[in-house]
Amino acid sequence: MTADTVTMTDNQDLRRQMVETCRQMNATGINQGTAGNLSVRTGDGFLITPSSLPYDRMEPDDLVEMAFDGTYVGRRPSSEWRFHRDILRQRGDIDVVLHCHSLYATTLAVHHKTIPSFHYMTGVAGGTTIRCAKYATFGTQQLSDYALEALEGRLACLLGQHGQISLGKTLESALWLANEVETLSRMYVQALTLGEPPILPDDEMERVIEQMRRMSYGQAPDLDGINDIARPRQAG
């Protein structure tokens, strides 16, 4: 949902969708307890999960309305509201910010490891790497500044000794990406047990990212004859 204007009905629907997404974060294992947070752009501001409320007890009305000046209505917002605000304010290309402490992404983050293009799916985050932001105390402006730096030209990043952030136009796309980042992180951690894996060259990753971009716009792939066999069947 893009929300230049959000009616009261749409707002309630969005709140319900956010609560469901939060519960899916826990159900898929990328989040635990009260860790992690979620926000969605709503016209002149955004909705964000409240502080210290487990997702299984969260109700739609518990979500916090915030303005970009940092003022809010309702419960106390997540302690990480600063990077949610700053990302949504700076990144007009996305509407959802999802933060979680998924196990393998955090394992890499505690070592401040960037995920290189050891696998072509690294390109889902929009570049040849998934960067790791420098460490800063949670909830601080410094952490937000570091996150913005790591997310430049990207849809996801790790946070040093902390967790991960994934972005999207929709709740569904942000949750999907967060799970992909966790899957890539797990594969990379396991690959490292055999030594540093080979890295795909930048020119190949450029082809991969372009292919992903074209497919996301609903266009069938046709690079290097990929689409020579797979064609829509003609009726009749």
pLDDT in tens, 100-123: 999 999 999 999 999 999 999 999
Is residue 163 within 8 A of residue 100, CB to CB? The reply is yes
Catalytic residue among 20, 59, 65, 80: 80
Euclidean distance between CA atoms 110 and 15, whole angstroms: 33
Q: 38: which strand partners?
A: 98
pLDDT in tens, 179-205: 999 999 999 999 999 999 999 999 999
pLDDT band of residue 221 (cuts 50, 70, 90) is very low
Got the DSSP string for the chain? ---SS--HHHHHHHHHHHHHHHHHHHHTTS--TT--EEEEEETTEEEEPBTT--GGG--GGGSEEEETTS-EESSPBPTTHHHHHHHHHH-TT--EEEEE--HHHHHHHHTT--B-SSSGGGGGGTSS-B-EEPP--TTSHHHHHHHHHHTTT-SEEEETTTEEEEEESSHHHHHHHHHHHHHHHHHHHHHHTTSSPP---HHHHHHHHHHHHHHHTTPPP-GGGTTTT--PPPP-
Q: How far is CA 6 from the centre of its chain?
A: 22
Which residue's entry shows tokens 């933060």?
A: 99
Residues 6+ apart with CB under 8 A from 80: 37, 99, 138, 139, 143
Q: Check pLDDT > 60 for residue 219.
A: no
Q: Check pLDDT > 50 for residue 4.
A: no
**Structure confidence at residue 220 (pLDDT):** 38
**Structure confidence at residue 224 (pLDDT):** 52
What is the second-level CATH architecture of the domain 8-221? 3-Layer(aba) Sandwich (3.40)
Euclidean distance between CA atoms 157 and 152, whole angstroms: 9
> One-letter amino acid identity for 139?
G
Identify the sign of the CA torsion 107, 127, 98, 144: positive
- Is 80 noted as a catalytic residue in this protein? yes
**Structure confidence at residue 43 (pLDDT):** 85
Q: Check pLDDT > 50 for residue 1.
A: no
pLDDT band of residue 7 (cuts 50, 70, 90) is very low
pLDDT in tens, 159-179: 999 999 999 999 999 999 999
pLDDT in tens, 26-52: 999 999 888 899 999 998 899 999 999
pLDDT in tens, 124-160: 999 999 999 999 999 999 999 999 999 999 999 999 9
Where are the chain's structural domains? Answer: 8-221
pLDDT in tens, 53-94: 999 999 999 999 999 999 999 999 999 999 999 999 999 999
pLDDT band of residue 234 (cuts 50, 70, 90) is low
Q: How far is CA 52 from the centre of its chain?
A: 21
**Structure confidence at residue 85 (pLDDT):** 98
